[in-house]
Amino acid sequence: MSRYLVDKFLFTVDRDPELVERYREQPVETVRWWEETQANLILSCHPDEASTWMAFTDAERQALATHDHVALFEMGAHPFLTLTLFIAMFERDYDEPLGYQMWYGRQLAHMSLPYPDITT
Protein backbone atom coordinates (compact mmCIF):
# COMPACT_ATOMS: atom_id res chain seq x y z
CA MET A 1 0.00 0.00 0.00
CA SER A 2 1.56 3.27 -1.10
CA ARG A 3 -1.26 5.73 -0.54
CA TYR A 4 1.18 8.58 -0.23
CA LEU A 5 2.65 7.82 -3.65
CA VAL A 6 -0.79 7.75 -5.27
CA ASP A 7 -1.50 11.14 -3.72
CA LYS A 8 1.88 12.37 -4.94
CA PHE A 9 1.02 11.35 -8.48
CA LEU A 10 -2.33 13.16 -8.34
CA PHE A 11 -0.72 16.23 -6.76
CA THR A 12 2.17 16.57 -9.19
CA VAL A 13 0.06 15.98 -12.27
CA ASP A 14 -2.73 18.32 -11.17
CA ARG A 15 -0.39 21.29 -10.80
CA ASP A 16 1.13 21.01 -14.29
CA PRO A 17 -1.09 21.96 -17.25
CA GLU A 18 0.92 19.87 -19.71
CA LEU A 19 0.82 16.81 -17.49
CA VAL A 20 -2.93 17.17 -17.00
CA GLU A 21 -3.42 16.91 -20.77
CA ARG A 22 -0.88 14.12 -21.13
CA TYR A 23 -2.54 12.07 -18.40
CA ARG A 24 -5.96 12.60 -19.97
CA GLU A 25 -4.81 11.47 -23.41
CA GLN A 26 -2.19 8.85 -22.53
CA PRO A 27 -2.85 7.53 -19.04
CA VAL A 28 -0.92 4.25 -19.31
CA GLU A 29 2.16 5.92 -20.74
CA THR A 30 1.97 8.82 -18.28
CA VAL A 31 1.69 6.57 -15.23
CA ARG A 32 4.60 4.41 -16.45
CA TRP A 33 6.80 7.45 -17.17
CA TRP A 34 5.91 9.07 -13.87
CA GLU A 35 6.65 5.98 -11.81
CA GLU A 36 9.99 5.45 -13.59
CA THR A 37 11.26 9.02 -13.52
CA GLN A 38 9.26 11.16 -11.07
CA ALA A 39 7.92 9.00 -8.25
CA ASN A 40 11.06 9.13 -6.13
CA LEU A 41 11.89 12.79 -6.57
CA ILE A 42 11.66 14.74 -3.32
CA LEU A 43 9.82 17.80 -4.51
CA SER A 44 11.99 20.50 -2.98
CA CYS A 45 15.30 18.71 -3.54
CA HIS A 46 17.89 18.20 -6.28
CA PRO A 47 17.26 15.04 -8.35
CA ASP A 48 20.50 13.52 -7.08
CA GLU A 49 18.88 13.38 -3.64
CA ALA A 50 15.89 11.36 -4.82
CA SER A 51 14.39 8.60 -2.73
CA THR A 52 15.15 5.00 -3.67
CA TRP A 53 12.26 2.93 -2.41
CA MET A 54 8.86 4.04 -3.63
CA ALA A 55 6.71 2.18 -6.17
CA PHE A 56 3.01 1.64 -6.86
CA THR A 57 1.27 -1.59 -6.08
CA ASP A 58 -0.25 -3.31 -9.09
CA ALA A 59 -3.73 -2.22 -8.00
CA GLU A 60 -2.66 1.41 -7.63
CA ARG A 61 -0.91 1.43 -11.00
CA GLN A 62 -3.99 -0.11 -12.60
CA ALA A 63 -6.39 2.39 -10.98
CA LEU A 64 -4.33 5.35 -12.13
CA ALA A 65 -3.73 3.95 -15.61
CA THR A 66 -7.47 3.40 -16.16
CA HIS A 67 -8.65 6.73 -14.67
CA ASP A 68 -10.64 4.70 -12.16
CA HIS A 69 -11.72 7.27 -9.60
CA VAL A 70 -13.89 4.72 -7.78
CA ALA A 71 -10.94 2.39 -7.19
CA LEU A 72 -8.84 5.36 -6.09
CA PHE A 73 -11.51 6.33 -3.57
CA GLU A 74 -11.74 2.75 -2.32
CA MET A 75 -7.99 2.57 -1.72
CA GLY A 76 -7.94 5.84 0.23
CA ALA A 77 -6.45 8.26 -2.28
CA HIS A 78 -7.17 11.77 -1.05
CA PRO A 79 -10.61 12.55 -2.52
CA PHE A 80 -9.86 16.25 -2.99
CA LEU A 81 -6.81 15.49 -5.13
CA THR A 82 -8.65 12.93 -7.25
CA LEU A 83 -11.68 15.16 -7.73
CA THR A 84 -9.71 18.26 -8.64
CA LEU A 85 -7.57 16.51 -11.23
CA PHE A 86 -10.43 14.53 -12.73
CA ILE A 87 -12.58 17.66 -13.08
CA ALA A 88 -9.70 19.23 -14.98
CA MET A 89 -9.56 16.26 -17.33
CA PHE A 90 -13.18 15.35 -17.87
CA GLU A 91 -15.56 18.19 -17.00
CA ARG A 92 -15.15 19.41 -20.56
CA ASP A 93 -16.82 16.25 -21.89
CA TYR A 94 -20.18 17.05 -20.25
CA ASP A 95 -22.64 19.63 -21.55
CA GLU A 96 -24.56 20.34 -18.36
CA PRO A 97 -22.94 22.53 -15.66
CA LEU A 98 -21.59 20.21 -12.96
CA GLY A 99 -22.69 17.23 -15.08
CA TYR A 100 -19.36 15.51 -14.63
CA GLN A 101 -19.27 16.17 -10.90
CA MET A 102 -22.74 14.64 -10.51
CA TRP A 103 -21.76 11.57 -12.54
CA TYR A 104 -18.57 11.24 -10.53
CA GLY A 105 -20.55 11.17 -7.29
CA ARG A 106 -23.10 8.67 -8.62
CA GLN A 107 -20.32 6.20 -9.41
CA LEU A 108 -19.52 6.23 -5.69
CA ALA A 109 -23.10 5.67 -4.52
CA HIS A 110 -22.25 2.22 -3.14
CA MET A 111 -19.83 3.71 -0.63
CA SER A 112 -21.10 4.05 2.93
CA LEU A 113 -19.60 5.42 6.13
CA PRO A 114 -16.98 5.04 7.29
CA TYR A 115 -15.21 5.85 4.04
CA PRO A 116 -11.77 4.36 3.45
CA ASP A 117 -9.04 5.90 5.56
CA ILE A 118 -7.07 8.60 3.73
CA THR A 119 -4.36 9.00 6.36
CA THR A 120 -0.85 8.89 4.91
Residues that bind other proteins (CB under 8 A): 4, 7-8, 11, 14-15, 17, 42-44, 69, 73, 78-84, 87-88, 97-98, 101-102, 104-106, 108-111, 113-115, 117-120
Least Å from the CB of residue 61 to other proteins: 19
Pick between residue 57 and residue 74 the one whose CB is nearest to other proteins.
74
What residue ranges in 9-98 does DSSP mark as E strands? none
Q: Under a CB-based contact definition with an 8 Å cutoff, are residues 55 and 5 in contact?
A: yes
Q: Give 12 or 57: the residue with its C-beta nearer to other proteins.
A: 12
Distance of closest approach, residue 33 Cβ to other proteins, in angstroms: 21
CA–CA dist 39, 32 (Å, integer): 10
Listed in sequence order, the residues at least 6 apart from 86 whose beta carbon sits closer than 8 Å to its beta carbon are 67, 69, 100, 104
Name the minimum Å distance from CB 94 to other proteins. 12
CB 46 to other proteins: min, Å: 15
d(Cα 2, Cα 20) in Å, to the nearest integer? 22
